[in-house]
């Protein structure tokens, strides 16, 4: 509904919008800046905005203190595998719902979403016991499965909304052309839904990356991802602003960079496919 | 090879029966058109033949073998969809080659067939473009190309011209007719446009609420409509249907007279009325006439330019030998 | 387009997702139900037999139960109100022609990428710390006494932190919806003499209703489950103990699984009430 406005109006709008944007972004910016300060500069009063001695010292100390590489690798593996696995299970389900809808389709979809509303704490202990029983505690495989399951409803829902935009006639054409169901999915549906699938993968990767209940409660050392890495700084011992900032920056940087490069899909994905 | 037989076919969606028991034979090589108003079940019927929908009861035979339970791909039919249903992520060449790839045909044979189809349909200029870069008419040709490479035993067309503008529609209509002559393959064509039906068909099947009202050649339908529905549906402008006293004079519940079978006379005609709208086309003049005491509006087609306008009194003489008579049940009285 | 073959294929293709989610829902649920009727103290003798409804009555009669329910609802409703209202305002602003719209949009959505543990830590220490936090500096600059945010204004602070994380999501969905509004509708209303506020109330807001429903649905799902924000900042102290957190403490800190499980069942019931309520609305608004 954008319309042309006078340059004066546009200038005012621009100023206000940038001010709000910077205000919202400021905590992140401040964290990144602080990560390059010395501890003294980090708590200096009044606060120093840019005029400090830039240093990488904090990053060096954080790296020394903990094995950042292992946490990062765990995060990538857990978020990545759980998302891909979720997608593989969700694509056929979303196909069914979008192209062979029945009276129960909407109910099933809403039921799936409602499983996400089950409070995790309510089932933490049973899952904990099952994990011990199966030897999955503090294992990446266990977390992959759990995160896949908690994000599955969202993945199914998003794919469903994207698939519904694809005209059914094209899939029927493929069927007339002799494609089997598998070929129909691989050669016709998936390539046509690539933007939607990319958005889905991306958003759920971020959700899995940032998930902090199961990752904190089901890991100790081996499988701990970046959420656990950063949580270790919540102890008073970690109350050094510059080092905390360096660790925080290291925890969020991969996602920020990923988000920067895939803005378009991400914006689409962030709406969960629900709004056009 | 391409005879299609429907035997006692019915289709229900839930409790609603959209097609009551229906028998129909489409002969090999015939151009058959299913025509009827929207919602009459013509597209459903086509999809039943294609195998995209299950029939509820009955049998479908293709070339004498039962195809009722065959999946679409195994029926040897090709379909052209209303929206063309081209694969947007594939070039024209890949679109056309897709059914052959699915049939695991070898590369050289695929190329040969695609090139042949491209030549027949004049697709060569844009064979490497994507469907998104093509005009409506070009997309239509690609869809047809994708159908002909399979060398199917019959083609199914689902309102293929309805997304084209009027001028293009006439052109494509002739191209499809010509293609039929060239290939001599069975074609089943669904449309709501009776002009398309009249101009293209060997055989027209008029459908109404899932029921076949009449099957016949275009001229049979024009000359001897079996009932008032067919009478009103086939022909343009529509046949005038008159009830009441005037019909009773002819021992019928309803009489029908086509606009082209009523003569405009200077005076002393059987019927008189006032001109509501006069459409002067030069070659013909169409009058929509009120106050005749016969029906709300009587339409008349006069040859040449007749200079009567709105509000004028008009005298009419129906040609009695072209009169159609229908009984109270709507059926034609011989 | 449905034949018997495609319908049975659909059932088969849907099966893995449905079975997995059904298992994921039922197995822990049944175990939780079982534990909730047991005296189960893993560190003090383990499973000591039936408890009847003791755990349930104890959990509800505990002085922390109703405050926890209240806290949960305040946080969810507070965050929803803030994100929806500011989301609409920012969306309307970003929809106007401005220079550098793409960059502003990135700035606005950035908080969504920040993991909850990080955002909680950053806010707690670098902004809300009563000595060295940026807010403390700001307050002192204006001659005011710095506030111990997380103890004196704990609820407001937590709502603020969580709202900061979810505002991008609300803004983005609402922006997408605003952009899909047909400008001719607004122009027609303008021609009819409707002033700005009326145009907003009678045209823009109804157009956004579906988007707002989606925002509320998805955010509620995630907000009912917030954990890290409280775990890291107050640890449930200063009246910020949500129902989830209370259960977490019963199970893990006091190691009373029976009692915690009874709490879990209550939480599940509460979540289901909210879910049914939401699904009603969404079901209606979904296509």
pLDDT digits (tens, 9 = 90+) for B42-89: 999 999 999 888 888 999 999 988 988 888 888 889 999 988 889 999
Residue B240's DSSP bridge partners are B257
Is B310 in contact with B278 (CB distance < 8 Å)? yes
SS3 content of chain A, % helix, strand, coil (to 5): 75, 0, 25
What is the mean predicted confidence (pLDDT) over C138-143?
81
Rounded to the nearest integer, the mean pLDDT of chain A is: 84
Instruction: Note which residues in 3-22 of chain C have CB less than 8 A from chain B.
Output: 3-5
Say which of A16, A89, A127 has its CB closest to residue C20. A89
How far is residue B286's CA from residue B278's CA, in Å, rounded to a whole number? 6
Q: Check pLDDT > 90 for residue B191.
A: yes
Is C247 in contact with C59 (CB distance < 8 Å)? no
Q: Check pLDDT > 60 for residue A2.
A: no
Is B299 in contact with B286 (CB distance < 8 Å)? yes
Is A108 in contact with A153 (CB distance < 8 Å)? no
Written as six digits, the tokens of B145 are: 């190309």
Q: Check pLDDT > 60 for residue C287.
A: no
Is A269 in contact with A202 (CB distance < 8 Å)? yes
- Do A255 and A161 share a domain, yes or no? yes
Chain A nearest C-alpha distance from B102 (Å): 6
Chain C nearest C-alpha distance from B53 (Å): 5
pLDDT tens readout for residues A187-212: 999 899 888 888 888 888 988 988 88
Name, of A151-160, A226-235, C196-205, the range with top average pLDDT.
A151-160
Pairing of strands C46-50, C38-41: antiparallel
User: Regarding predicted confidence, which is higher, B229 or A260?
Assistant: B229
Q: Check pLDDT > 60 for residue A115.
A: yes
Residue B142 phi/psi, 5° resolution? -60, -40
The answer to whether the Cβ–Cβ distance between A212 and C115 falls below 8 Å is yes
Q: Check pLDDT > 90 for residue B203.
A: yes
3-state secondary structure A216-266: HHCCCCCCCCHHHHHHHHHCHHHCCHHHHHHHHHHHHHHHHHHHHHCHHHH
- Do A183 and A101 share a domain, yes or no? yes
Q: How confident is the model at residue A43 (pLDDT cuts 50, 70, 90)?
A: confident
Task: Go through the domains of chain C in sequence order and give each one's CATH number.
Answer: 48-285 (1.10.3720.10)
Q: Which residues in chain B are closer than 8 Å to A187, comparing Cβ atoms? A: 98
How far is residue A120's CA from residue B90's CA, in Å, rounded to a whole number? 45
Pairing of strands B203-208, B31-35: parallel
Pairing of strands B313-318, B298-303: unpaired
What letter does residue B251 receive in the DSSP assignment? T
- Do A55 and A93 share a domain, yes or no? no
Q: In the prediction, which pLDDT does B190 show?
A: 94
pLDDT tens readout for residues A123-149: 888 888 888 888 888 888 889 999 999
Angle at B108 between CA B106 and CA B109, to 5 degrees: 70
Q: Check pLDDT > 80 for residue A8.
A: yes
CA A29 from centroid of its chain's CA atoms: 20
Chain C nearest C-alpha distance from B265 (Å): 52
Task: Give me the CATH number covering residue A242.
Answer: 1.10.3720.10
How far is residue C110's CA from residue C124's CA, in Å, rounded to a whole number? 19
Chain B nearest C-alpha distance from A202 (Å): 22
Last residue of a domain, one of A19, A43, A59: A59
Location of structure tokens 């493929």: A174
Angle at A216 between CA A215 and CA A219, to 5 degrees: 70
Contacts of A44 (CB under 8 A, 6+ apart): none
Is B203 in contact with B217 (CB distance < 8 Å)? yes
Location of structure tokens 């991008």: C168
Which alpha helices (H) appear in C123-256, and where do they start and end? 134-141, 149-152, 154-179, 183-191, 196-199, 205-223, 228-233, 243-248
Burial string for A224-236 (b: 16+ CB within 10 Å, else e) reads bbbbbbbbebbee
pLDDT tens readout for residues B279-296: 988 889 999 999 888 888
Q: Check pLDDT > 60 for residue B314.
A: yes
> CA separation (Å) from C135 to C111, C232, C253?
19, 19, 33
In a domain, A1, yes or no: no
Q: Which residues in chain B are closer than 8 Å to A180, comparing Cβ atoms? A: 73, 102
In a domain, A275, yes or no: no
Q: In the prediction, which pLDDT does B14 show?
A: 82
- In this predicted structure, which of B129-143, B189-203, C228-242 has the lowest mean pLDDT? C228-242
The answer to whether the Cβ–Cβ distance between C17 and A267 falls below 8 Å is no
Full-model pTM: 0.84
The answer to whether the Cβ–Cβ distance between A192 and B72 falls below 8 Å is no
Rg of the Cα atoms in chain C: 24
Least Cα distance to A120 among C76, C35, C255, C225 occurs for C225
Number of domains in chain A: 2
In a domain, A2, yes or no: no
Say which of A90, A122, A272 has its CB closest to residue C267. A122
The answer to whether the Cβ–Cβ distance between A43 and C119 falls below 8 Å is no
Q: How confident is the model at residue A273 (pLDDT cuts 50, 70, 90)?
A: low
Going along chain C, which residue ranges are E strands? 38-41, 46-50
Q: In the prediction, which pLDDT does C1 show?
A: 46
- Do A18 and A77 share a domain, yes or no? no
Q: How far apart are the first and last CA of chain C?
A: 19
Q: How far apart are the first and last CA of chain B?
A: 37
- Do A100 and A226 share a domain, yes or no? yes
User: Regarding predicted confidence, which is higher, C202 or B113?
Assistant: B113
Least Cα distance to C119 among A50, A245, A208 occurs for A245
How far is residue B200's CA from residue B176's CA, in Å, rounded to a whole number? 8
User: Regarding predicted confidence, which is higher, A239 or A264?
Assistant: A264
Q: Check pLDDT > 80 for residue B334.
A: no
User: What sign has the CA pseudo-torsion C236, C238, C240, C241?
Assistant: positive
Chain B nearest C-alpha distance from C5 (Å): 8
Rounded to the nearest integer, the mean pLDDT of chain C is: 82
What is the mean predicted confidence (pLDDT) over A243-266?
82
Chain A nearest C-alpha distance from C89 (Å): 11
Instruction: Note which residues in 97-136 of chain C have CB less than 8 A from chain A.
Output: 97-123, 125-127, 132, 134
Q: How confident is the model at residue A42 (pLDDT cuts 50, 70, 90)?
A: confident
- Do A72 and A199 share a domain, yes or no? yes
Q: In the prediction, which pLDDT does A236 show?
A: 61
CA C130 from centroid of its chain's CA atoms: 27
Say which of C105, C111, C179 has its CB closest to residue A1. C179
> CA separation (Å) from C168 to A1, A20, A134, A204, C214?
20, 12, 39, 16, 14
- Do A14 and A131 share a domain, yes or no? no
- Do A162 and A266 share a domain, yes or no? yes
* HSE toward the beta carbon, residue B170, CA cutoff 13 A: 2
| Residue in chain C nearest B53 by alpha carbon | C3
Percent of chain B with pLDDT over 70: 100
- Do A94 and A110 share a domain, yes or no? yes
Is A175 in contact with A184 (CB distance < 8 Å)? yes
In a domain, A115, yes or no: yes
Say which of A169, A170, A178 has its CB closest to residue B73. A178
Is A102 in contact with C274 (CB distance < 8 Å)? no
pLDDT tens readout for residues C252-276: 777 778 888 888 888 888 888 887 8
- Do A25 and A80 share a domain, yes or no? no
The answer to whether the Cβ–Cβ distance between A176 and B72 falls below 8 Å is yes
Q: Which residues in chain A are closer than 8 Å to B72, comparing Cβ atoms? A: 172, 175-176
C27 sits in which H/E element: helix C4-36
How far is residue A177's CA from residue B72's CA, in Å, rounded to a whole number? 8
Last residue of a domain, one of A15, A30, A59: A59
Q: How confident is the model at residue B325 (pLDDT cuts 50, 70, 90)?
A: very high
The answer to whether the Cβ–Cβ distance between A24 and C164 falls below 8 Å is yes
Q: Check pLDDT > 90 for residue C4.
A: no
Q: Check pLDDT > 60 for residue A3.
A: no
Q: Which domain holds residue A114?
A: 66-270
Q: Which residues in chain B are closer than 8 Å to C1, comparing Cβ atoms? A: 47, 52-53
- Which chains contact A through at least 3 pairs of Cβ atoms less than 8 Å apart? B, C
Is B138 in contact with B102 (CB distance < 8 Å)? no
- Which chains contact C through at least 3 pairs of Cβ atoms less than 8 Å apart? A, B
In a domain, A276, yes or no: no
Task: Go through the domains of chain B in sequence order and give each one's CATH number.
Answer: 4-230 (3.40.50.300), 238-326 (2.40.50.140)
Pairing of strands B254-257, B324-326: antiparallel
What is the mean predicted confidence (pLDDT) over B181-191?
92
Contacts of A51 (CB under 8 A, 6+ apart): none
Q: In the prediction, which pLDDT does C270 show?
A: 82
Contacts of A63 (CB under 8 A, 6+ apart): none
Residue B303 phi/psi, 5° resolution? -75, 140
Which alpha helices (H) appear in chain B, and where do they start and end? 42-50, 92-102, 107-120, 136-148, 166-183, 194-200, 218-223, 228-233, 245-248
The answer to whether the Cβ–Cβ distance between C137 and A46 falls below 8 Å is yes
Q: Check pLDDT > 70 for residue A4.
A: no
CA A109 from centroid of its chain's CA atoms: 21
The answer to whether the Cβ–Cβ distance between A1 and C94 falls below 8 Å is no
User: What sign has the CA pseudo-torsion B258, B261, B267, B271?
Assistant: negative
User: Regarding predicted confidence, which is higher, C196 or B17?
Assistant: B17
Q: In the prediction, which pLDDT does C2 show?
A: 63
Q: In the prediction, which pLDDT does C284 show?
A: 67
Percent of chain C with pLDDT over 90: 11
User: What sign has the CA pseudo-torsion C82, C84, C85, C86?
Assistant: positive
Q: How confident is the model at residue A270 (pLDDT cuts 50, 70, 90)?
A: low
The answer to whether the Cβ–Cβ distance between C17 and A45 falls below 8 Å is no
The answer to whether the Cβ–Cβ distance between A177 and B73 falls below 8 Å is yes
- Do A79 and A154 share a domain, yes or no? yes
How far is residue B226's CA from residue A112's CA, in Å, rounded to a whole number? 55
Q: Which residues in chain C are closer than 8 Å to A271, comparing Cβ atoms? A: 172-173, 176, 214
- Do A71 and A48 share a domain, yes or no? no
Residue B190, classed as helix, strand or coil, is strand
């Amino acid at each position: 509904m954008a319309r042309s406005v006078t340059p004066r109006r546009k200038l005012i709008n621009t100023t206000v919008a940038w001010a709000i944007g910077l205000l919202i972004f400021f905590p992140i910016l401040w964290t990144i800046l602080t990560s390059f300060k010395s501890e003294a500069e980090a708590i200096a009063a009044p606060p120093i905005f840019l005029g400090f001695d830039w240093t990488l010292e904090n990053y060096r100390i954080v790296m020394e203190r903990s094995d950042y590489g292992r946490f990062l690798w765990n995060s990538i593996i857990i978020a990545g595998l759980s998302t891909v696995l979720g997608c593989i299970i969700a694509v056929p389900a979303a196909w069914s719902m979008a192209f062979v809808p029945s009276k129960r389709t909407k109910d099933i979809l809403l039921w799936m979403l409602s499983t996400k509303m089950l409070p995790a704490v309510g089932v933490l202990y049973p899952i904990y016991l099952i994990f011990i029983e199966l030897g999955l505690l503090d294992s990446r495989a266990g977390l992959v499965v759990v995160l896949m399951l908690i994000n599955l409803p969202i993945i199914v829902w998003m794919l469903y909304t994207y698939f519904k935009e694809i005209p059914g006639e094209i899939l029927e054409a493929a069927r007339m052309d002799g494609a089997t169901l598998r070929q129909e999915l691989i050669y016709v549906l998936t390539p046509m839904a690539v933007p939607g699938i990319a958005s889905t993968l991306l958003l759920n990767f971020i959700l899995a990356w940032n998930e902090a209940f199961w990752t904190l409660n089901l890991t100790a050392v081996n499988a701990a991802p970046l959420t656990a890495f950063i949580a270790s700084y919540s102890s008073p011992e970690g109350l050094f602003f510059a080092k905390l900032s360096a660790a925080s920056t290291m925890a969020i940087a991969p996602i920020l960079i990923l988000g920067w490069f895939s803005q378009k899909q991400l914006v689409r994905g962030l709406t969960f496919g629900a709004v056009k | 090879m391409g005879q299609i037989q429907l035997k006692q076919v019915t289709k229900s969606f839930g409790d609603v029966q959209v097609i009551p028991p229906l028998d129909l034979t489409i002969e090999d090589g015939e151009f058959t058109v299913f025509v009827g108003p929207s919602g009459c079940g013509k597209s459903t019927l086509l999809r039943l033949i294609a195998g995209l929908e299950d029939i509820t009861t009955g049998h479908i035979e293709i070339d004498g073998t039962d195809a009722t339970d065959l999946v679409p791909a195994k029926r040897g039919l090709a379909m052209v969809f209303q929206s063309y249903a081209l694969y947007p992520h594939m070039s024209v060449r890949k679109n056309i080659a897709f059914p052959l790839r699915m049939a695991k045909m070898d590369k050289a044979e695929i190329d040969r067939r695609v090139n042949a189809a491209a030549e027949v349909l004049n697709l060569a200029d844009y064979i490497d473009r994507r469907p998104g870069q093509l005009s409506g008419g070009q997309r239509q040709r690609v869809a047809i190309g994708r159908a002909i490479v399979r060398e199917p035993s019959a083609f199914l067309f689902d309102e293929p011209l309805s997304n084209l503008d009027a001028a293009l529609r006439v052109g494509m209509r002739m191209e499809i007719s010509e293609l039929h002559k060239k290939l001599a393959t069975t074609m089943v064509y669904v449309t709501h446009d009776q002009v398309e039906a009249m101009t293209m068909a060997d055989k027209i099947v008029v459908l109404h609420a899932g029921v076949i009202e009449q099957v016949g050649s275009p001229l049979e339908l024009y000359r001897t409509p079996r009932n008032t529905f067919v009478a009103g549906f086939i022909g343009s402008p529509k046949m005038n249907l008159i009830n009441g006293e005037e019909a009773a004079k002819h021992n019928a519940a309803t009489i029908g007279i086509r606009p082209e079978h009523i003569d405009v006379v200077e005076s002393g005609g059987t019927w008189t009325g006032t001109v509501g709208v006069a459409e002067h086309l030069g070659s013909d003049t169409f009058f929509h006439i009120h106050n005749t005491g016969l029906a709300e509006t009587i339409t008349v087609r006069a040859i040449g330019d007749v200079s009567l306008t709105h509000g004028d009194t008009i005298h009419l003489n129906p040609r009695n030998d072209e009169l159609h008579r229908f009984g109270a049940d709507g059926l034609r009285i011989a | 387009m449905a034949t018997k073959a495609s319908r049975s294929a659909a059932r088969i293709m849907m099966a893995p997702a449905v079975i997995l989610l059904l298992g994921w829902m039922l197995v822990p649920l049944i175990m939780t139900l079982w534990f909730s009727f047991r005296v189960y103290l893993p560190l003090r003798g383990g499973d000591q037999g039936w408890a009847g409804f003791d755990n349930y009555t104890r959990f509800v009669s505990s002085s922390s139960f109703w405050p926890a329910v209240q806290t949960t609802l305040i946080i969810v409703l507070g965050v929803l109100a803030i994100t929806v209202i500011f989301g609409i305002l920012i969306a309307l602003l970003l929809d106007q022609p401005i220079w550098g719209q793409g960059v502003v949009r990135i700035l606005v959505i950035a908080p969504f990428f920040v993991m909850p543990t990080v955002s909680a830590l950053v806010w707690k220490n670098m902004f809300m710390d009563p000595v060295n936090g940026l807010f403390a500096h700001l307050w002192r600059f204006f001659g005011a006494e710095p506030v111990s945010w997380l103890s004196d204004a704990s609820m407001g602070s937590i709502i603020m932190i969580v709202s900061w994380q979810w505002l991008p999501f609300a803004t983005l969905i609402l922006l997408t919806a605003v952009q899909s509004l047909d400008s001719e509708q607004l122009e027609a209303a303008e021609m009819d003499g409707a002033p700005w506020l009326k145009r907003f109330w009678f045209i823009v807001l109804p157009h956004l209703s579906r988007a707002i429903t989606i925002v509320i649905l998805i955010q509620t799902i995630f907000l009912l489950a917030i954990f890290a924000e409280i775990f890291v900042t107050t640890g449930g102290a200063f009246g910020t103990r949500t129902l989830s957190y209370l259960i977490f403490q019963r199970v893990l800190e006091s190691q009373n699984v029976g009692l915690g499980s009874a709490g879990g069942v209550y939480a599940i019931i509460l979540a289901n009430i909210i879910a049914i309520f939401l699904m009603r609305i969404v079901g209606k608004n979904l296509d």
